[in-house]
Chain A
């Protein structure tokens, strides 16, 4: 009790979440007088990162850095434009499709919103779309990143839940497509409400050129998904191959990247992943402590007194996650929730861990766009100059469509499991 209290006090005071988790373990050891645990403390901490699957994380972040420098995002946007043709609100759909393509390369919402705000919003504004609505669509599109494989959140969930990351990636495909469909419906509604302009006509020649130019960029997602599904490479190696390909394309084909940008990209990817990896190591110490405390069993007993239905359990979990996601970033939230609730979901309610993982990851991404602590929301605001409150109001219909997907996922496990089993 004292340990839990101190943990929440640390969190509220603004102690970095990773350190709050480690301090919780120390306070627990002090309170229970189990000093002998201190002897294995360093080993637990180091061991928390000794995981081959985790290596995918720095490499996918590196891939994002190369993509950003190499001008690949803009080619994908033009490709989407060439594919969709002339229609009302065309650019809004182009934005979504480009986001979908980007999501199959990047695994992080914030990275994606950063790139797409720079590419898509000015383009839409020039074509006569209201700026705030364009920003809202771009921000919502960023939510596809953590669900469409490769996904940073699936990597972390896979490491904590000890599930194969490649299978988790496949489990995310159907929910990702559902989410995309929901977004398309919302854009249709917005298009009618704000009377979006039609896309200017594009000559066949120009269209052909756009496709030709985008071909190397479009190869990257194919490399990633293809090598993983084909069993040629592990997700980690696929990320390394894709990063090498992105650097090659940026340097030699598009020539937008220079050799000088290579080393800073490595440093920045290293820094970005270090914070997440350290958090995961801290989480390892945290789960080690909660096994002594037997927290999952306590939660299980309490949940069982509330409901015996897996669907009701999942719906309650969704509400809890929504609240948690509002104040905590998705990655630390996964780290806090999974060790406690996964054993309950599997053991008590017989819920498939893949279904559980997809719901958790999808739900927690919502928090990226909800105030008061929405990293994605503030990134979009920062990049575009539109007030965060305004964006938050405009993305409501998108968030509602995700909520609907979440409810469907809770009722129909096969949406998350069937494709993985079929492949």
Chain B
């Protein structure tokens, strides 16, 4: 009984967290889309005036990738990703629920694996120990923190940061699905 209540409140907390996060993600997507639109219009107008701004296209593409990953996380929360539903549709409700729970679990495990991959890629502990980006690169031959953008004049790492953010929000949304499903079962 005790564990039941604990599970309930835990699922509730996560579910609320996922819902708040989803709202925030919606807002970020809107802001990014407005920026992309603005950048492209700037490009059209500045070129028509004979003074093209060269960095616009690259920035717009990176912002689009942010839209894609923030939106992909949101679509997880709302279960809006494209899937083949042929088999689930053939099943009885109980079977369908079980299958859907397995899919949720698989996605949660995927995000755990992705965390591990990203942790190794960004290697933050070695970076801290090395003290500087140059020292880190010399030590690991991992040029991740020094990769430049073509026209923006900043390091690409700032745009790559969306990957760990996506991983974290994905973990929260999939965990919330699992918790909600657990509640339904009990």
Q: Which residues of A contact B (CB under 8 A)?
A: 10-19, 22-23, 26, 38-39, 41-42, 45-46, 49-52, 54-55, 58-59, 62, 233, 236-237, 240-241, 243-244, 263-264, 266-267, 269-271, 273-275, 277-279, 281, 327-329, 331-332, 372-373
Residues of B within 8 A of A52 (CB): 57, 61
Q: Does B26 count as interface, using CB distance less than 8 angstroms?
A: yes
Central interface residue in B30, B70, B75, by most chain A CB within 10 Å: B30
**Identity of the chain A residue whose Cβ is nearest the Cβ of B159 in the assembled complex:** A46
Q: A16-B82, A19-B81, A279-B82 are in contact. List 19 more A-B contacts (CB 8 A).
A: A12-B84, A15-B106, A22-B110, A42-B117, A46-B159, A52-B61, A54-B61, A55-B40, A55-B61, A59-B36, A240-B40, A240-B41, A266-B30, A274-B70, A274-B75, A277-B68, A278-B68, A278-B81, A329-B82
Stretch at the interface among B1-9, B11-19, B95-103: B95-103
Given known contacts A19-B110, A274-B29, A278-B71, is B121 in contact with A14 (CB within 8 Å)? no
Contacts of B137 in A (CB 8 A): none
Residue B80 interfacial (CB < 8 Å): yes
Contact yes or no, B67 A58, CB < 8 A: yes
Contact of B33 among A11, A237, A269, A331 (CB under 8 A): A269
* Cβ-defined contact, A14 with B88, below 8 A: yes
Do A273 and B83 touch across chains, with their CB atoms under 8 A apart? no
Give Cα A329 to B80, complex, Å.
14
- The distance in angstroms between the C-alpha atoms of A50 and B61, with both chains bound, is 6
Residues A332 and B82 in contact, CB atoms below 8 Å apart:
yes
**Per-residue contact bits, chain B 110-150, to A (CB 8 Å; 1 contact, 0 not):** 10010001101100000000000000000000000000000
The interface residues of chain B lying within 8 Å CB-to-CB of A236 are 40
A-B contact pairs, 11 of them (CB 8 A): A10-B106, A13-B102, A16-B107, A19-B81, A19-B107, A22-B110, A240-B37, A240-B41, A270-B33, A274-B72, A277-B71
- Tell me which residues across on chain A come within 8 A of B86, comparing CB atoms: 12, 327, 372-373
Closest 7 interchain pairs by CB? A274-B71, A16-B81, A277-B68, A270-B29, A278-B72, A240-B40, A267-B30
Q: Is A46 touching B163 in the complex (CB atoms < 8 A)?
A: yes
B65 at the interface (CB under 8 A from A): yes
**Residue positions of B touching A, CB distance < 8 A:** 26-27, 29-30, 32-34, 36-37, 40-41, 43-44, 57, 60-62, 64-65, 67-72, 74-76, 80-89, 99-100, 102-103, 106-107, 110, 113, 117-118, 120-121, 159-160, 163
A14 lies within 8 A of B68 (CB): no
Residue contact A13 to B87, C-beta cutoff 8 Å: yes
A62 to B33, CA, bound (A): 9
Main secondary structure on chain B at its contact with chain A?
helix
Asked whether, in the complex, the Cβ of B106 is within 8 Å of the Cβ of A14, the reply is no
Q: How far is the CB of A321 from chain B (nearest CB, A)?
A: 16
Beta-carbon contact of A266 and B37 below 8 Å:
yes
Asked whether, in the complex, the Cβ of B74 is within 8 Å of the Cβ of A274, the reply is yes
- State A55–B83 Cα separation when bound (angstroms): 24
Instruction: Please state if B85 and A274 are interface contacts (CB–CB under 8 Å).
Output: no
Q: Is the CB of A58 within 8 A of B69?
A: no
Residues in chain B near residue A12, CB distance under 8 A: 84, 86-87
Q: Residue among A39, A49, A372 with the most chain B CB within 10 A?
A: A49
- Chain A residues, CB < 8 A from B60: 55
Query: Complex formed: what's the CA distance from A279 to B72 in Å?
Result: 9
B160 close to A271 (CB less than 8 A): no
Chain A residue with the shortest CB-CB distance to B84: A11
Q: Among A237, A278, A372, A373, which residue has its beta carbon within 8 angstroms of that of B40?
A: A237
Contacts A19-B81, A55-B40 hold; do A270 and B67 have CB atoms under 8 A apart? Answer: yes
Q: How far is the CA of A202 from the CA of B68 in the complex (A)?
A: 48
Can you name the residue of chain B whose Cβ is closest to the Cβ of A372? Answer: B86
Residues of B within 8 Å of A62, CB to CB, are: 33, 37
CA distance A17 to B103 in the complex (A): 12
In the docked arrangement, what's the CA distance between A15 and B26, Å?
Answer: 23
The docked-state distance in angstroms from the alpha carbon of A52 to that of B87 is 37
Task: Give the residue of B37, B74, B100 whose beta carbon is less than 8 angstroms from that of A14.
Answer: B100
Residue from A55, A263, A279 in contact with B36 in the complex, judged by beta carbons closer than 8 Å: A55
Q: Known: A274-B70, A275-B75. Is A331-B61 also a contact (CB below 8 A)?
A: no
The answer to whether A237 touches B89, judged by C-beta atoms less than 8 angstroms apart, is no
- Tell me, in angstroms, the Cα distance from A328 to B117 when the chains sit together: 30
Which A residue sits closest to B88, measured CB to CB? A14
